[in-house]
Amino acid sequence: MCLLAVYSAFSWLPTMLAAEGLDVALAGSGLTAYNLGGVLGALGCALAITRYGSRWPLLLCCAGGVTSALALRGIDAVHHTHWLVFGLGVHGLFVNAVQSTMYALCAYVYPTRVRATGTASALAFGRIGAIVSAFAGAVLITAGGASLYLAMLGAAMFMVLIALMIVRHHIPRADDARARAPSV
């Protein structure tokens, strides 16, 4: 679901913004803001995971992804373009923070003997979301415009939130991991 949200933004965000009446160059700015936010989110979430473990940073970023997508539905794109672009940057921050750090969570969750297979399987399964995004964006933008498209992004991140709540073994805080490690 997270890759569905990421690839939907990469593939359809400029189209959605242009469909809302924005200039194509400005629509490209929305994608730039999304990606810039994503870089900041990935770095910030990685630092937060080191300090607090993975459970709460990932859950908070998922909740931020849901909230920001739904909040964007209330912005008039033509009259409040700068707020929309800023909001897309915030949404990109949360979604990419989750997506980029889930790779580390995968490596932590799977036991060493199946880590490569487990992580690769998770990545392969995630690509289904990437494939679905190619079709979902077109259908949703055509059927309901920006509102339905943004609702789909929010719904996808809500499903990621639920899935991450179910994961029992998250990456521990760095201090907790050092305390549990045997001394040499």
Domain of residue 133, CATH code: 1.20.1250.20
Mean pLDDT score, 74-92: 92
Which of 21, 7, 4, 11 is CA-nearest to residue 145? 21
Mean per-residue pLDDT over the chain, rounded: 91
Distance separating alpha carbons of residues 160 and 112, to the nearest angstrom:
24
Q: Is residue 122 part of a domain?
A: yes
Count: domains in the chain: 1
Q: Is residue 182 part of a domain?
A: no
Q: Are 143 and 19 in contact (CB under 8 A)?
A: no
Distance separating alpha carbons of residues 90 and 30, to the nearest angstrom:
11
DSSP string covering 130-160, please?
HHHHHHHHHHHHHHHHHHHHHHHHHHHHHHH
Calculate the CA 15 to chain-centre distance.
19
**Joined tokens for residue 154:** 């929010």
Q: Is residue 88 part of a domain?
A: yes
- Return the residue matching tokens 């539905």: 73
Q: Model confidence at 178, in pLDDT bands (50, 70, 90)? A: low
Contacting residues for 164 by C-beta, under 8 A, at least 6 apart: 55, 58, 59, 62, 98
Q: Is residue 184 part of a domain?
A: no
Q: Is residue 180 part of a domain?
A: no
pTM over 0.85: yes
Distance separating alpha carbons of residues 109 and 170, to the nearest angstrom:
7
Count CB atoms within 10 A of the CB of residue 115. 14
Q: Is residue 181 part of a domain?
A: no
Reply yes or no on whether the pLDDT at 182 is more than 70: no
Mean pLDDT score, 119-124: 90
Q: Model confidence at 176, in pLDDT bands (50, 70, 90)? A: low
Mean pLDDT score, 100-116: 92
Q: Is residue 179 part of a domain?
A: no
Amino acid found at 122: A
Q: What is the domain extent for residue 73? A: 2-173
**Phi-psi region for residue 145, left (φ > 0), alpha (ψ -120 to 50) or beta?**
left
Gyration radius of the chain's alpha carbons: 17
Q: Is residue 70 part of a domain?
A: yes
